[in-house]
Amino acid sequence: MIDAHLHLQDLRFPEDLSGVMETLREAGISRIVVNGTCPEDWGRVAELADTFSEIIPSFGLHPWKVNGVPREWKDELEDLLLRYPGAGVGEVGLDRWIKGHDLESQSRCFQTQLEMAGRLDRPLSIHCLQAWGHLRECLEQAGSIPPFLLHSFGGPAEMIDDFVERGAFFSLSGYFFRAEKAEKLRVFEKIPEDRILLETDAPDMMPPAELVLRAMPDQEENGPLNHPVNLASIYQAFADWRGLDLETVIRLMRVNFDSWFRTGNRSEVRADSA
């Protein structure tokens, strides 16, 4: 099984992740895409990728982090992408939901990263909340870009075809199997089967209680945190929802992931020892 999007570098995880990774191996989870969000956590993502072979790194400036970044962030990002030829660009995007959002700054940073992904030929992981029209405009301005994932897709059904034509994949998180998110889940009925991926977005986006195989305590006492092993129950929930057997879903997600990340065309993910 493959987790298309999570944040294992998040400091809410235990400092020593060996136990977490062993739990994933035992559950049959073989690849996970760990998404950086800002210069402060890119180094942690790189360190984890060097330590655990299951981790595929992705480096990006999240729209929540665009203000206050050092001037040299673009150079640092490109240096990391060159050091890790198998890495993606993400998590990047646009967000009008967050309080005090600065859409102009978000757009500048997003367009910079779209250009970088296109020039270096790297897949993207895109975050979007309440900015779908603006996202489409940015993609139009960028022209030809590598395949991109609309992570934890919550956009309008009427835009799916347009995004598919532009090379989009769409990931479904366990959170959307909550009863109150049934409308979001129904949107995935309109997405081509060969463009769907599954994710946890751990340590966030906790699935409903019946899909929680394991939770982690939150040191800030904001409630339990999503453990990435819950991907196994998300795979089963998706299989049940689509009327497929689990092995078929595992094969489908592997093919879809390889189409998005184009893993057959990628060099080793690990950094050059030089």
Per-residue pLDDT tens over the stretch 23-62: 999 999 999 999 999 999 999 999 999 999 999 999 999 9
For position 219, what pLDDT does the model report?
76
Give counts: helices (H), strands (E), the chain. Answer: 9, 10
Q: For the chain, which residues make up each domain, given as ranges?
A: 2-265
* 198-to-108, 153, 192, 194, 204 alpha-carbon distances in Å: 29, 11, 14, 12, 14
Alpha helices in the chain (DSSP H): 18-27, 39-51, 73-83, 103-120, 132-142, 160-165, 182-187, 231-242, 246-261
All residue ranges of the chain with pLDDT < 50 are 266-274
Q: Please state, in angstroms and rounded to a whole number, the distance separating the CA atoms of residues 199 and 214.
A: 15
Q: Which CATH number fits domain 2-265: 3.40.50.2300, 3.20.20.140, 3.30.1370.60, 3.30.70.20?
A: 3.20.20.140
